[in-house]
């Protein structure tokens, strides 16, 4: 049996993983690391042996490798880049090895997936894409073979970005100009604008939608018919058990024309999680700004997403890299103006002003010619100031106790009518009009904001309790004793980091809300949460700290300025 090669006197090949138009992929062991960690080595070669473009390809390769390093170094669902180098006429990428199997491989022995499982995979990958797109990068090759489900947790990991493929496809035209001749993508999973060389953010959502349809039906796009008039893929007959809402979301994602799709990953994520923009936490990146932001972006402003009106613009060079923003706590919706009850009260007051004024003008004729009835004590009328400098006349108790309301307009010569006798004692008093609702205090926390904050906390665990151990995320999301416990020298984050340990999370969701109490700028909420977590220490799973369970928790939340943060929490089981 032939001995497997040793690449660059360091990476001992274990087995061949695959090959494509640009090179080969191997599973290897890093012989220069004490742990002998396994890694994936990709050997790449330009599409043409042309000395004119070799130097150009090398420069582009280094630039694209730096982008891959930035992406994988700050998101656990993108493989970490360990190294890159050139040897002879080949280029090499060394990346983290993800234990698991591809989505297509998983379906081969598990069969089609349920709607709930596919929804969880989509929700997770959309957050990955939100981060990728915040770097002004379009993946361009999302498909079942480029999604690995981690062993145990089934957490999806996104592989094989198209940037390096495009670099390897660089050629020189007859005029001596360098161009990229390869359209990156997989037929069937690639929308028309990408096939034309102008991918947009929603191009990735198109491919992701068809990947979800594959998971539901077991059929790749080429096996599905399409409407000859609209070009829409007709997949629903093969997934009859899917709910209409979920099917509609997928239908929008795979619209043939980009303006008809979700423009950004965040909007599709919101549709799947049924949360409004004002109530959902930001996991990676930021919401689109109110002012239009060019798709090309500017260095240092990579967290802005393109508005829907700019969806047809091409994506700029994927070299603008910045640190990803931390998780922002739930934003507090700004006040939309005067509450409805206040508007109604002010309107009624203005009408009453004109009515009382009419009474004062007509009172002399009602009092048998007595012209002195217009003084302040004749009608028990007082004046009080209201906001804005207007005045409202208010009847005192003696005036307000009359049982009949006077007519809107009284004829000038009509004498005052004789009052009707009071109703019999047996007649029940009229039902009192309920007072207007009490306005919600500015500092009060709503149940929706509380739920959104807990969802943000759950999602943030994979950033705080695993590399890169984001303490800034903890500062943005927590306060009080919880923040102190997270950041102290012997706290949770430091212990994990100092012991070469981290948590890996799978399912994380709120199952039910059992109790919610608000009190000013504090709120208490009791929820039932399902969570799948595994502690890894020195690269090995710790069975004693691995769980997949549903438990009840009580969270105490506190508003700090316009942010809602987790003050403390405890298990109720």
User: Are 238 and 219 a contacting pair, CB within 8 Å?
Assistant: yes
3-state secondary structure of 529: strand
Q: What's the rounded Cα separation, in Å, for the pair 63 and 60?
A: 5
Close Cβ partners of 95 (under 8 Å, ≥ 6 residues apart): 39, 40, 42, 68, 72, 79, 80, 81, 82
Q: What's the rounded Cα separation, in Å, for the pair 560 and 573?
A: 29
Q: What's the rounded Cα separation, in Å, for the pair 81 and 385?
A: 69
Nearest-10 crossing angle of helices 201-217, 244-253: 140
Which phi and psi (to 5°) does residue 563 adopt?
-120, 145
Out of 30, 141, 518, 532, the active site residue is 141
Let me know the angle formed at the C-alpha of 374 by 373 and 378, rounded to the nearest 5 degrees: 55
Q: What's the rounded Cα separation, in Å, for the pair 508 and 455?
A: 8
- 537 marked ligand binding residue: no
Rounded to a whole number, what is the largest CA-CA distance in the chain? Answer: 126
3-state secondary structure of 278: coil
* Omega prior to 468 cis, within 30 of 0: yes
- Give the end-to-end CA distance of the chain in Å, rounded to a whole number: 57
141 part of the active site: yes
Block residue for tokens 């690449």: 7
Q: What's the rounded Cα separation, in Å, for the pair 167 and 187?
A: 19
User: Are 363 and 378 a contacting pair, CB within 8 Å?
Assistant: yes
Q: What's the rounded Cα separation, in Å, for the pair 228 and 318?
A: 36
User: Are 564 and 332 a contacting pair, CB within 8 Å?
Assistant: yes
User: Are 242 and 252 a contacting pair, CB within 8 Å?
Assistant: no
Please choose, from the candidates 311, 279, 298, the residue with its C-alpha nearest in 3D space to the C-alpha of residue 456: 279
**Count of all residues that appear for the chain in the document:** 573
Write out the two tokens for 254: 């795979």
Q: What's the rounded Cα separation, in Å, for the pair 13 and 3?
A: 9
Q: What's the rounded Cα separation, in Å, for the pair 381 and 375?
A: 9
Q: What's the rounded Cα separation, in Å, for the pair 172 and 234?
A: 41
3-state secondary structure of 239: coil
Write out the two tokens for 118: 């596919």
3-state secondary structure of 279: coil
Q: What's the rounded Cα separation, in Å, for the pair 66 and 45?
A: 18
User: Are 147 and 211 a contacting pair, CB within 8 Å?
Assistant: yes
Q: What's the rounded Cα separation, in Å, for the pair 363 and 415?
A: 10
Binding region for ATP = 42
Binding region = 42
Could you list the active site residues? 141
């Amino acid at each position: 049996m032939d001995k497997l090669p040793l690449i660059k006197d360091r990476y001992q090949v274990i087995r061949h993983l695959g090959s494509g138009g640009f090179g080969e992929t191997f599973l290897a062991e890093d012989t220069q690391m004490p742990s002998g960690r396994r890694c994936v080595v990709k050997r790449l070669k330009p599409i043409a042996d042309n000395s004119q473009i070799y130097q150009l390809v090398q420069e582009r390769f280094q630039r694209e490798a730096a982008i891959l390093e930035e992406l994988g170094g700050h998101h656990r669902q993108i493989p970490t880049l360990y190294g890159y180098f050139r040897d002879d006429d080949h280029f090499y990428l060394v990346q983290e090895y993800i234990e698991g199997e591809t989505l297509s491989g998983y379906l081969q022995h598990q069969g089609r997936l349920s709607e709930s499982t596919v929804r969880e995979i989509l929700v997770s990958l959309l957050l990955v894409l939100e981060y990728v797109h915040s770097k002004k990068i379009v993946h361009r090759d999302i498909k079942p073979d480029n999604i690995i489900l981690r062993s145990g947790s089934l957490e999806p990991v996104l592989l094989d970005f198209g940037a390096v493929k495009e670099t390897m496809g660089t050629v020189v035209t007859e005029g001596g100009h360098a161009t990229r001749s390869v359209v990156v993508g997989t037929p069937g999973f690639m929308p028309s604008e990408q096939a034309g060389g102008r991918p947009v953010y929603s191009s990735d959502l198109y491919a992701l939608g068809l990947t979800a349809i594959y998971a539901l039906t077991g059929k790749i796009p080429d096996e599905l018919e399409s409407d000859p008039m609209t070009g829409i893929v007709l997949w629903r007959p093969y997934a009859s058990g899917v709910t209409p809402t979920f099917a509609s979301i997928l239908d929008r994602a795979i619209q043939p024309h980009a303006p008809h799709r979700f423009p950004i990953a965040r909007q599709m994520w919101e549709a799947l999680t049924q949360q409004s923009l004002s109530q959902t936490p930001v996991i990676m990146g930021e919401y689109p700004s109110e002012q239009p932001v060019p798709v090309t972006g500017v260095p240092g402003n990579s967290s802005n997403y393109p508005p829907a009106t700019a969806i047809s613009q091409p994506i700029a060079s994927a070299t603008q890299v910045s640190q990803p923003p931390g998780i922002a706590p739930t934003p507090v919706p700004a006040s939309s103006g005067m509450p409805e009850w206040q508007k109604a009260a002010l309107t009624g007051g203005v009408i009453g002003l004109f009515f009382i004024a009419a009474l004062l003008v007509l009172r002399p004729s009602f009092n048998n010619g007595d012209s002195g009835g217009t003084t302040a004590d004749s009608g028990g009328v007082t004046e009080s100031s209201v906001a804005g400098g207007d005045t409202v006349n208010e009847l005192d108790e003696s005036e307000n106790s009359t049982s009949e309301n006077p007519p809107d307009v009284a004829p000038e010569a009509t004498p005052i009518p004789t009052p009707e006798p009071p109703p019999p004692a047996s007649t029940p008093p009229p039902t009192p009009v309920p007072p207007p609702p009490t306005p919600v205090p500015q500092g009060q926390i709503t149940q929706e904001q509380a739920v959104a904050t807990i969802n943000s906390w759950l999602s943030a665990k994979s950033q705080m309790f695993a590399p890169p151990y984001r303490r800034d995320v903890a500062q943005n999301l927590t306060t009080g004793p919880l923040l102190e416990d997270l950041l102290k020298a012997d706290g949770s984050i430091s212990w994990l980091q100092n012991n070469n340990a981290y948590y890996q999370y799978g399912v994380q969701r709120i199952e039910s809300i059992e109790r919610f109490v608000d009190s000013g700028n504090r709120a208490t909420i009791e929820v039932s949460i399902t969570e799948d977590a595994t502690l890894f220490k020195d690269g090995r799973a710790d069975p004693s700290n691995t769980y997949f369970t549903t438990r009840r928790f009580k969270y105490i939340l506190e508003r700090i300025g316009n942010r809602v943060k987790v003050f403390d929490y405890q298990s109720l089981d």
